[in-house]
Every structure is written in C-alpha cells, then in structure tokens.
Amino acid sequence: MINRRWLIAENPLGRNLKVSDFLADTQPIPRPGPGEFIVRVDYFSLDPALKSHMENLASYAGPTTVGGLMPGGGAGEVIASEHSGYAVGDKVTGPFGWQNYACTDGTDVSRIPAGIACETALGVLGVTGKTAYCGFVEIGKPRPGDTVVISGAAGATGSVVGQIAKIAGCFVIGIAGGPEKCSRLVDEFGFDAVIDYKSEKVRSRLRAIAPDGIDVMFDNVGGDILNDCLARLRHDARVVICGAISRYNFDPRSPDMPEGPRNYFNLVHAHASMQGFILPDLERFHAEAERRLTVWLKGGRIREAVDIVEGFDCAPEGLMRLFEGRNFGKQLVRIAA
Amino acid sequence: MINRRWLIAENPLGRNLKVSDFLADTQPIPRPGPGEFIVRVDYFSLDPALKSHMENLASYAGPTTVGGLMPGGGAGEVIASEHSGYAVGDKVTGPFGWQNYACTDGTDVSRIPAGIACETALGVLGVTGKTAYCGFVEIGKPRPGDTVVISGAAGATGSVVGQIAKIAGCFVIGIAGGPEKCSRLVDEFGFDAVIDYKSEKVRSRLRAIAPDGIDVMFDNVGGDILNDCLARLRHDARVVICGAISRYNFDPRSPDMPEGPRNYFNLVHAHASMQGFILPDLERFHAEAERRLTVWLKGGRIREAVDIVEGFDCAPEGLMRLFEGRNFGKQLVRIAA
C-alpha cells in the first residue's frame, strides 16, 4: 500500500491556479510513532484560502514550500494508532493535507460525532459552518427585521449565512452568479431575494429590493460588489469581511490588484462599521456554533449544500472550480475507497 | 446698520473651491419675532465639511441652495431678544451661517459658559473637541500602551485627538504636511513622533517608528495615507474614519474620485474594524466630552491650536486654507467689531 500525495509544484502568487501548480508523488504509508495515529483520508475540504496558503499569504497558517505537501483540511478514519485518545475505526477531521494517509499526533484533530457524515463534519458543522455562524452572529450582530446582503451567497459559507439569517428573522438577499445558483438559493435555501451579478446591476437592484438600505453585509467577494453594497448602507450597518474571491488571483503588492472600495467613506454617513475576522479569532464561540448548527441541521432548519468531485486525481481541478465560480456550496473531493 | 452675508454663488461639487463660489450681499438687520433673538456673530467656525454642505452631500445637514445663505457655525453675542431664555449680552454658539447678524429661535444654540472665550467654545469645547473626544474614545477605544496614528494631525480635530491619546497613555504618531507642522506637534502638543507625508514615505516610516503595528488609526485624510496605515494594523486594531480631506474636491460619482483603500482586506488578517461616525451619532457622550475637555484645558493638559483670519471679507479664503493645508488647528474667521 502506498500513500499518494499532492505536493505544491509552484507558488501561484499573482495569477490564476493551474493544474501544473500541483505535483503528485507516492510514498510508503507512514507508521505511527508513540502518541501518533494514522488517518485514511476519505475527503479533502476545499476552500479559496488554500491558494493563500500556497502563497504564504495566510498569516494564521503555517508556512508552505514548493515541493512540500499541499495543506488542507480533510476527514477520514483512524486505521492505526499509538495514541491513547484515538482507536482504529474512529472518524476524524483535521489538517491532514492532500494525501491518502496522514500521520498525526492529534493536533487540531476533532472526532466526528456518531451519526454525522464526513461531508457534514467538513461543511455545516466544520470550519465552513462555524465561520458562517461566528462571523454573521458575533460580528454582523443581526436583529430581527434587518436586511442582510450576502455576496458569494451560493458558496459554502454564504449558503449557511443566508439560512442563519432567516432563522434570525432577517430579510435575506443573496448575490450570486448565474440563474441556476440564484433560483436554487430562493427555492431550496429560502433566500428572500437574489441578485445575479452576471446579468444584473447590483446597485440598482439593491435600490429596488432593499429601498431602505442594508443593515448587515456579509462579504465573500470584495471588488465592485462590496463597493455597490457600501453605497446602500443603513445607519448603524455592519459590514462583515469574510473573504474576497475577487482578489485572490492578484499579488497584494501588485498595481494590478483591484482597487479598494471607494465608497468606504459611506461608513461615516451611515455610522457604520466594517470588520474582518478569521475563525480562530472567534474561538470562544466555536462550541456554541457547533451546538446550534447541529440542532438546526437535525431540525431541518438548515440544509447542506455540498459539491463533490470524485477522486484523488481531481483535487487540483476541484480547487480551481472555486475560483471559476463553478461550485454550489461546500466543495469536497471524495477519495475513492 | 446692515447685515452683511455671504451667499453660495456656485455649487463647487467635483472641484476645488474658488472665491467666486461665494457672493456677498447686504440686508437690513433682522428684527426678532416672538420667541426669537438676534446674535451679532463675532466668529465663523470653518470646517472642511462646509464644502460638502454647499454640495448637499452632508446627509446630516439641511439642504443648501445656490443663492442661499452660506451655512456654518459661529459664536457671538445676543443684541436683541424676544426669547425668554436668552438676554441681551449672552454669549452663544450656534448654526448662524456666514452673516453679521443672525435671527434664531434658539435651535441648536448653546450658551458659552462664563470665562470661556469664543475661540475655545468653537474649538476644543465645541464640535471640534467633541468630535475628537467622542470619535477617539468611543470608537477608537484606546488602551494605555496602544500605538495611535492620527492623520491630519495638525488639523483642528487631529491636534486634540493626539493630546487626548497622550492623556490615555498611548504612544502617539502624527501624520502632517511640512516640517513646521511636524515640529510644532512634537514640541508644543506632545506627540511622540511625526511623519511628514510631503517628504517621507509613510509606510516605511511607520515600520520604523511602530514596528509592532498600529492599535488605533484616527483618519482625517483617506487616500494613500489611510491605505498605508491599513497595511500596518495590529491584531484587534480600530480604524476610526472621521474625515477624508483627500476626497472632498471630487464628485463621489465621478471616476476621478481617488480609489478606495486596497488594503482594506487587512481587516481580515488583523481582526480589525473600521468605523465611521459623525458627531450627532454620539450625542450621548457630548456632555461627558465637554466636561472632561474643560477639566483638561483648565489643567493645562490640552492646549488650543487656533488659526484666525481677520475680517468678514476673508471668510472664503479662510475656508480655502483648509483644503490647501495652510491652517494649524482650528480655523476661525474673526469679524471686525
């Protein structure tokens, strides 16, 4: 038995990803030392931030190097253990990297509760769902009746934020690309309204759908979409900066980087705030997030959006799907058994 | 006796102010009706926001029209009264407009306490000082030991913010234009360090002076200076947006408007917030601000920076001084007796 791995072949800073940024190799399956265990990785969890990790731009993550293992979260099953806390057969999630078998001492590993699927553990009950809950609830501070706008609404985080906003009693507007995503957000995920940024003018549509303005903007995109939303803030609005998919193919130091939001100064007229976060900053809310998301999921108040590509070989293409806007919801790679 | 007034002759939207945007006329001095009184205006208070008022871009102020009285705060003495609350000889501040004599029913008028000069009532104890206190303390939330950066540090608000930041136990860096302003900020106003943006690179100087980054940024300028500061935020930093002098000569809807801050996305990495405000939003802190500023002023812990141009005729040039960076501290027009 061998361990197949995806290595970083090139640093993609300042440009689009390509398949040749990744290089597959094979290694013997590692053996666990004392206090370690081996996980057979069944799913890779894909996220736009992985590109930043490859570029060493994600200050919160460990450094990566060309020639090193491609980082990333995953889920699977313990197949060998010299660790007192984990036994063969345990299902776990953790930062296993893009490989079939990971050796770990348990750092940042979580056990998957009984009855929860790997897809769910990596999606609604994983980093994705916690990011949605903690960012929206703790930074966005929704109040019933608020008008909430979510960009990247058909993405992993956005689709969960919209459903939490409905539970919170808000009027929820999603911004997404293309008619299929938009109709699914309304029909399957309960959004009150959608804007197809590929065929509609965001600013004039916002004026029509939300004539009194925006109370909470949850931004995954940046660029013109963020700027158009800043033009429509209500007094005391909260702008939550979660991601900026429009920026990730540019070098932050390059003059080609899309410009910043000109309308930032509307924060003054609206007495509004714009705040960024990453999930570790909000660790004190993680357990609450997981508890509540579990209840909502079991109660049918939140549904999962999972987009799966099949097979270890497809991992690079799977990651590229995120930057092409091809995924609906959480993008996973399922590793063939 | 006549009432000389400055009227708005042209809307200066999208360009620099010029003297011909103002037109002087004369009127009979008004007579007070029941519940009204007449103020002889001795000082006009100048502020960059007056240009926005002329352009009807200041959402919080009443509308202005070409041909109408130039708006603006002022200070003076009651010379006739049919109002039970005000007597001849009372000293007051209020939104009197650019005229020698104002008739008012007392709306937004404040009495100047005994022993306080008009300059002080319009400056450190007026809108300027309250803006500095409320914005810095309530939105900036300074903690002792914090590194605070103030742009427009030699302006009316900035010079007060820096002194409050020293009282709060912070390390205070001012950004201003030219060696004279910079040396005065250190020598007379107690700033710990200054950056002359006209001759120094803000970003590299910040790296040298504040190697651990910025905790509070109080911004009066926008543009490159704001962007450079956003590159140097510490974790949990607060960016207070008070003004943006670099933008006021542009139409917000014009493509010529300077671009927004590209580095806004550092709010994510730094778990930082950017918030705007105008003084009426923070009304619940106004009385506290006035009390504390009075104590600090009397105790010599804050000194006043007042820049006076002499004479009614000079009011337009006085306002233009602000946009040319020629004022140090609060810009007033003193009306000849």
B246 touches chain A (CB under 8 A): no
A323 touches chain B (CB under 8 A): no
ipTM given for this complex: 0.90
Render pLDDT for A108-121 as a digit per residue (tens, 0 to 9). Answer: 999 999 999 999 99
CA B21: distance to chain centroid?
A: 21
pLDDT at A8 over 90: yes
User: pLDDT-based confidence at A203, cuts 50/70/90?
Assistant: very high
Q: What is the pLDDT of residue A331?
A: 98
CB B95 within 8 A of CB B75: no
For chain A, list the domains and their CATH numbers. Answer: 2-123+304-334 (3.90.180.10), 127-298 (3.40.50.720)
- Nearest chain A residue to B224, by CA: A260
Q: What is the pLDDT of residue B252?
A: 85
Q: Are A277 and B264 inside 8 Å of each other by CB?
A: no
Distance from CA of A281 to the nearest CA of B (A): 7
CA B255: distance to chain centroid?
A: 27
- Nearest chain A residue to B228, by CA: A253
pLDDT at A153 over 80: yes
Query: Cα–Cα distance between A315 and A71 in angstroms, integer?
Result: 12
CB B278 within 8 A of CB A270: no
pLDDT at A60 over 80: no
Q: What is the pLDDT of residue A319?
A: 98
Tokens matching residue B90: 């009372």
Query: Cα–Cα distance between A325 and A175 in angstroms, integer?
Result: 12
- Over residues A321-327, mean pLDDT: 96
Name A294's Cβ contacts closer than 8 Å, sequence gap at least 6.
A113, A125
- Nearest chain A residue to B140, by CA: A273
CB A148 within 8 A of CB A172: yes
Inter-CA distances, B77 with B36, B89, B109, B330, Å = 14, 6, 12, 21
Inter-CA distances, B185 with A76, A165, A178, A216, B292, Å = 61, 48, 55, 39, 22
Number of CB atoms found within 10 A of residue B252's CB = 17
CB B159 within 8 A of CB B305: yes
Closest CA to B43 of B81, B87, B86, B99: B99
C-alpha distance across the termini of chain A, in Å? 13
Mean pLDDT of chain A: 96
Residues within 8 A of A (CB atoms), B 48-87 only: 59-60
Q: Are A268 and B241 inside 8 Å of each other by CB?
A: yes
Tokens matching residue B73: 């705060």
Positions of chain B with pLDDT under 70: 59-60, 337
Query: Cα–Cα distance between A224 and A219 in angstroms, integer?
Result: 11
pLDDT at A304 over 80: yes
Name A271's Cβ contacts closer than 8 Å, sequence gap at least 6.
A235, A236, B275, B276, B277, B278, B281
